[in-house]
Amino acid sequence: MHHEVALIATVAIGFVFAAVLGYVADRLRLPPLVGYLVAGMLMGPFTPGVVADVDLASQLAEMGIILLMFGVGLHFSTLDLMAVRGVAIPGAVAQIALATVLGMLMCSQWGWSIGAGLVFGLSLSVASTVVLLKALEERNLVDTAKGRVAVGWLIVEDLAMVLALVLLPVLAEILQAPADAARDSTGIALTIAVTLIKVGLFAVMAVVLGPKVVPWLLTRVARTGSRELFTLSVLAVALGIAFGSAELFGVSFALGAFFAGVVMSESHLSHRAAEDSLPLQNAFSVLFFVSVGMLFDPSVLTNDPMAVLGALALIIIGKAAIALLIVLLLRYPLGMGLTVAAGLAQIGEFSFILAGLGVGLGLLPTEGKDLILAAAILSITLNPLVFLAAEALERYARATWPSFVDGHGKKKRDALGRELARIRAARDEREKEHRLEVEHLVETFPLLAKVNEYSQEELLLLFRPRSAAPGERVIRAGDRGDGMFFISSGAVEVQLEDASIRLEAGSFFGEMALLTGGRRTADVVAVDFCEFLILERRDFYAFMARHPDLRAAVSNMARKRTEANVQRKNSSQSLDAK
């Protein structure tokens, strides 16, 4: 494959293989992602036939993770995270600790070192947010209480893995040279402190500064009226924050993108951002699963099948049981515990990163990385079946022990439900107010019904509000036209040479000078307390150029007004002559 076309070939082959095998998987009543994984295996270096560029595929997959996590952040505000903190934070921390210990015990049976067991256990303890979201979306659970808890749990896991990735090099020094590490204990403590400060600083900046800067920036871009520029800006914010957070604060690309989405969710333009980025999210998330399949070496299944089964059992049975037990001990409902357990019964992107770092630091043997990849492929493939088993188990428990299922965790379930409902209601109310604002605009100015909803929202951003008191001169004859005025409330009087015309709410004026490029032909005076929406000259020309139907309607109205003025003037002259 020529280097010049490696990127194009990788993307093209990946999409073609994924589309075909995803369709086949769907026809076999399997999740399409199984087809994506098989497509990656066929494209990988461990199977005969086409071999795509693994490094390029991995980078494209990272792009998919970034965009997907950005989409999660758009729909998952900081209030959502705070609402589920009572179960997500202690649950994720305890589950990571227990699963890591189990992984270390398993590695000790194989004769591996403590460092190898630590990396192996950590890799198996963290689940893939990408896989979880796909599973929740297929079951319409993303916006439910159990779905919010599951996503919040994995966000806490991601934060913990950020710390693990930074601290692993320090731990490698301690494990490989204990004496030297003891002498340099001050330096190690300083490294850990700096890491915690950097992550904390990033979180503070994302939560405090971000909501002020990002919505303002998006509003400015949206005012240009360019849809492609708005989409580009959304992607620039997502990728820019993801890259900047990784470079400056040492957090992962995925976590940085998630916080970028959380920040952008505070803007009333978040729904447009989500809509515009969704196609790219879907396309690149497919490449994530393809790249995972490319890394898989099927020979590990025959070389060490018992180790693979052991790792898979820890992921599917061990982690799920731990998560379910933790949720029940925290006095939350069984159904929530089963959903979290099923969501955690797989591993993904952070596991690959941890395994690669462990091999690079000399902590994890190469076969450990192969085992982790094999367990990831198998657990991702089997995860839909785990969800089906969890749903069946919940139905069985409800039929067998209805009082326990309905009563256990009822108070916390109801409290969490009320809190999430309140957050959702506040978000819906904000969106409803915005929709009503658009609807009111069209009701007040029926002329604007000639443009679509997207353009109506754009007008809201372009308009400049202005008020006037009775007797105030709004426009002076002879001035250069600087904007078109829409009357939201009140009334004005257009003072012509021979007559005065009253215009009330729902009317507009000032368009003639803009259409002709000439000077104002009349004074306009407020005769009531008025509220105006002004479309400035530059915005008027740009908006009308994009909407010729609206321009034609405004021009037609202006022509009728001109003709009426001429007729009135001629009639007045005729009367004077008599």
- Contact between residue 290 and residue 450 where contact means Cβ atoms under 8 Å apart: no
- Decide: helix, strand or coil at residue 491: strand
Q: Is residue 446 part of a domain?
A: no
Of the candidates 251, 61, 246, 244, the one whose C-alpha atom is nearest the C-alpha of residue 155 is 251
CA–CA separation, 366 vs 349, rounded Å? 18
Boundary of a domain, candidates 403, 422, 441: 422
CA–CA separation, 128 vs 41, rounded Å? 19
Boundary of a domain, candidates 422, 439, 466: 422
Structurally, the chain folds into a number of domains equal to: 2
Per-residue pLDDT of the chain (578 residues; tens, 9 = 90+): 455 667 788 888 888 999 999 899 888 877 787 788 888 888 888 787 777 777 777 777 777 777 777 877 776 666 777 788 888 899 999 999 999 999 999 999 998 988 899 999 999 999 988 788 888 888 888 888 888 889 889 888 877 887 787 678 777 777 765 555 455 566 667 766 776 777 777 777 766 777 777 777 877 787 776 777 888 888 888 888 888 877 777 666 777 787 788 777 767 677 677 777 777 777 777 887 788 788 777 888 888 889 999 999 999 999 999 999 999 998 898 889 999 999 999 987 778 778 878 888 888 888 888 898 889 888 988 888 899 999 999 999 888 888 887 788 788 888 887 888 787 777 766 666 666 677 777 877 787 877 777 777 777 778 888 899 999 999 888 888 888 899 888 999 988 877 788 888 888 888 888 888 888 888 999 998 999 988 888 888 888 888 888 888 888 887 887 777 667 666 655 545 55
Q: Is residue 217 part of a domain?
A: yes
The CA-based dihedral angle spanning residues 178, 180, 181, 186, taken in that order and rounded to the nearest 10 degrees? 150
Q: Is residue 19 part of a domain?
A: yes
SS (H, E, C) 135-177: HHHHCCCCCCHHHHHHHHHHHHHHHHHHHHHHHHHHHHHHHHC
Residues 21 and 125 in one domain: yes
Residues 357 and 500 in one domain: no
Q: Is residue 472 part of a domain?
A: yes
Q: Is residue 242 part of a domain?
A: yes
Of the candidates 324, 346, 344, the one whose C-alpha atom is nearest the C-alpha of residue 335 is 324
The DSSP symbol for 479 reads S
Angle among Cα 193, 250, 212 to the nearest 5 degrees reads 100
Q: Give the count of beta carbons closer than 10 Å to the beta carbon of residue 488.
A: 19
Q: Give the count of beta carbons closer than 10 Å to the beta carbon of residue 349.
A: 27
Residues 180 and 318 in one domain: yes
Residues 338 and 379 in one domain: yes
- Contact between residue 471 and residue 525 where contact means Cβ atoms under 8 Å apart: yes
Q: Which domain holds residue 508?
A: 452-577
Residue 247 vs residues 39, 140, 252, 359: alpha-carbon distances, Å: 33, 36, 9, 22
Pairing of strands 523-526, 473-475: antiparallel
CA–CA separation, 381 vs 33, rounded Å? 8
Residues 130 and 278 in one domain: yes
Q: Is residue 438 part of a domain?
A: no
Tell me the CATH number at 483: 2.60.120.10
- Helix, strand, coil abundance in the chain, percent, nearest 5: 75, 5, 15
Residues 305 and 175 in one domain: yes
CA–CA separation, 339 vs 395, rounded Å? 13
pLDDT of residue 513: 85
- Decide: helix, strand or coil at residue 391: helix
Q: Which two tokens stand for residue 94?
A: 């305890």
Residues 251 and 190 in one domain: yes
Residues 412 and 467 in one domain: no
- What's at 32, amino acid-wise? P
- Contact between residue 261 and residue 70 where contact means Cβ atoms under 8 Å apart: yes
Residues 14 and 93 in one domain: yes
Residues 329 and 191 in one domain: yes
The gap from C-alpha 542 to its chain's centroid, in whole angstroms, comes to 30
CA–CA separation, 237 vs 67, rounded Å? 11
Residues 468 and 524 in one domain: yes
pLDDT of residue 576: 52
- Decide: helix, strand or coil at residue 488: strand
Tell me the CATH number at 278: 1.20.1530.20
Q: Is residue 447 part of a domain?
A: no
Boundary of a domain, candidates 371, 400, 422: 422
Residues 415 and 456 in one domain: no
- Contact between residue 10 and residue 57 where contact means Cβ atoms under 8 Å apart: yes
By CB atoms closer than 10 A (0-12, 13-18, 19+), residue 548 is exposed
Q: Give the count of beta carbons closer than 10 Å to the beta carbon of residue 546.
A: 14
CA–CA separation, 338 vs 334, rounded Å? 6
Q: Is residue 52 part of a domain?
A: no
